[in-house]
Structure 1
């Protein structure tokens, strides 16, 4: 057929073009190539969605009325998406997406040879002309399709034409926002049902470990998503500055880069630590309200006495098959959120987190007043997210007292337990000795962001 011959010739020509290096082109040439190739890609998108929609129709039906088995049966699959998955060698998710969008922008032919226009004809026309791509198609049709049965046809058509006009020159992300706003404005009565449906779909799941890591995933409704994004964005923003700092404090006490302690975490790792900080704060509140040493969400870690004292060997956490190091057990045992059970070499329990090991709520409040949150320079973790760390470790005779405690976030707590950063107390205040590659001068430096200094300064003024 003529169309098949044209596609074959286009593939041959484009295969040769793809082999040509772009490094020889000037900037303007590469820019123009990217634009031209995208126009070509939009035409290919139109063909992809058209083929996907037609395959979906034929997957479960016999097109010629003969006794030939339908496509799904002939291929040994159960859905139209699986048919397309095999034909196009794409993921099932991508196949499902193409079928869903293709059905909305492709005409249908009835058994009586009548042509039925697609639900979104203006989008279909712009797609076939190569004026918009599949991203713009999805941005327009998804919000409008969900409300199509509750919007007057003429209003729906006007909204579609307006959005197509915007998509011809605008960015798909901006068009998606416009489409969402327009769909909700036209379907004001549908907001509450949509909200109830979204809330019903909320979910959170924790999987089992894979290579020592435990996956978790879920879906958040709009309110939950807003809370998560706000909490994480606030604590991961590059412009984030510490709290509880008086204007006249020396740089070493302000956390205004007294030491170039580089945060090695990626943005994703920082977001994870923020989430764990929120969880830690919530568990600690539950524990304090219950007026017990360990709250209802307390996790237990089991370690032998020899390994805990020696700082080597393994420890085991509740409901987690991957072991942690004995040094990590000592680290997480500083605070009351995880109970450490010490056993002998035969597994017999010797002790389980004696009360004096854990800082009380009153002591933590005193540390929060003194340290203002994580005491490490440049860190902005609030007090509720931190661990109370024994400067002289408890198993080495250190007292559980404000004069031997300092607040550290989980990330910096781990750095301190690794041994490169050393802490000491001088006149009841924490000091830090950073490793030589961070502080070549090797000076003990006061750390923390004391709240009371700001008040004292204000009163003095």
Structure 2
């Protein structure tokens, strides 16, 4: 309960604190008594109770910020009088913001926001001594009432102050009221989007100059770090960034939909109690073949797929059709499957399996050198599958043959099941399979075995992934009933023989 003699400025904080106390008590499980340990209390709360407590604490935090902002602004004003004994310097700080950051334990930038919001929402004094309303009255009321947090108020302040010289005063006031009203609904991130649209509406002549500034600031840098990672750093203007963003998000979205669909029943599918749901997807809920990448990793894989597709596209730019990633490897190392190779333009050496993997992608050619190979020769013509063979493999696999993968044929390449050099594998249809780059990596890195029997593909995990080494059926372009899984033990024995 708020004390009768409470200082008026503190009434809002006191009421919010009482609200937290009441909500906290009501959120505790029946029979549970509050303790000095907030962690224990939180764990005993119901789901709805946790939400109510979070909302009450948010209200309290905004009320506290409503007091911090004017105090910070006044402290800053007294520290900028030019006198030798300004407040901040007297307490050992170079500025009021430094003092505030130290006192609150927060960041310097947070102190800057407190000062700016406090100054923008405080009443002003005219030269005549008359008290004038705050520079942004709608925002001042929202902050003092706890409806808007300091972060949101700072976004609105910076927008209003920046657009004021070029906007009509009435429209500016309406924009302020609109943003203040929407702030609790859309949050700070949503405010950034609204501000961009509002800026274009209030200052239509400034849209093109701002766009030109963004375009002039575009950049994309590529370098290799000391660990051998290829690093990217860039920024794109909206016109150039939109297709890049859309292409990557579309590919990643398709992968996420595939992973999601593998875990839920098909539309209209009935599942009896206690019965195991038959999966439309052979990879359904199978942890061994399930998606394991993070979103960031999927973004990079999508970008790499786009680059590979561009290098191999017959109708792409002439410069790309003539470009070729060159991998160099000693013939003896390739024959033994031990050693390393290099990629032109990349300092970091790569393994022999990676060289063999690169050689199977269009636009990439291995260059051999060593005893008897002093004359450099291209090995693509004999080791790569022909276009006609790829069409047959695509007809069988549809795209990537990995269980449940939805990558289309344009993002896959024909892969030798028994490798060209190490196993003396042939470029024949019964030794070929379509794989995307990511699952090609998984085949090599995790020791999977691929079998083809009666036109069906089977993926056999290594023992460390599945001690039983149960074969997983691969994708097929047309659904059909697969024969019983092959005898992996017999197959491995025949290969060893």
Q: TM over 0.5: same fold?
A: yes
1:285 is aligned to 313
- 2:209 maps to which residue? 193
Matched, 1:379 2:405: yes
Rounded to whole Å, the distance in 1 between the matches of 2:333 and 2:133 is 74
Aligned counterparts, 1:119-198, within 5 A: 119-141=135-157, 143-168=159-184, 171-198=187-214
Alignment-derived partner of residue 26 in structure 1? 45
The yes-or-no answer on 1:64 pairing with 2:96 is: no
Following the alignment from structure 2 to structure 1, what is the Cα–Cα distance between the partners of residues 108 and 296?
Answer: 27
Q: Which runs of 5+ in 2 are unaligned?
A: 1-6, 18-33, 263-277, 480-497
Bigger relative CO (Cα 8 Å, ≥ 6 apart) = 1
Deviation at 1:20, TM superposition (A): 3.6
Q: Report the Cα distance in structure 2 between the residues aligned to 1:210 and 1:19, rounded to whole angstroms.
A: 50
Structure 1 residue 327: Cα displacement: 1.6
Alpha-carbon distance, 1:326 to partner: 1.8
Structure 2 counterpart of 1:222:
238
For residue 422 of structure 1, the aligned residue among 443, 449, 455 is 449
CA–CA separation in structure 2 for the residues paired with 1:323 and 1:393: 21
Q: CA RMSD in A?
A: 4.8
Residue 332 (str. 1) matches residue 358 (str. 2)? yes
Length-normalised TM-score, structure 1 = 0.71
**In structure 2, do the counterparts of structure 1 residues 167 and 335 end up closer, same or farther at CA, with 3 Å as the change threshold?**
closer
Counterpart mapping for 1:239-258 below 5 A: 239-240=257-258, 255=281, 257=283
2:297 equivalent in structure 1: 269
Counterpart of 1:406 in structure 2 is 433
Q: 1:80 to 1:291 in 2, by over 3 A?
A: same
Equivalent in the alignment of 1:458 = none
Q: Which runs of 5+ in 1 are unaligned?
A: 243-251, 452-461
TM-score, scaled relative to structure 2: 0.66
Q: Are the equivalent residues in 2 in contact too, given 1:280–1:384 (CA < 8 A)?
A: no
Partner deviation per Cα, 1:389-433 (whole Å, 9 max, x = no partner)? 122322133344555432211111112223632224557x56223
> For each residue in 1:306-346, what CA deviation from the matched residue of structure 2 results, as whole angstroms up to 9, or x when unmatched?
3323333333333434333222222222223333333449x
Secondary structure of the equivalent of 2:290?
coil
Distance 1:231 1:181 in 2: 24
The number of residues matched between the two structures is: 421
Equivalent residue for 1:316, pick from 335, 338, 342: 342
Pair member with larger Rg: 2
1:302 aligns with 2:328: yes
Secondary structure at 1:239 match in 2: helix
Q: Is the 8 A contact 1:432 1:444 kept in 2?
A: yes
| Matched-pair contact (CA < 8 Å) for 1:374–1:408 | yes
Q: Are 1:39 and 2:59 an aligned pair?
A: yes
How far apart are residue 163 of structure 1 and its match?
A: 2.4
Alpha-carbon distance between aligned partners in 1 of 2:175 and 2:445, rounded to the nearest angstrom: 60
Q: Is the 8 A contact 1:235 1:380 kept in 2?
A: no
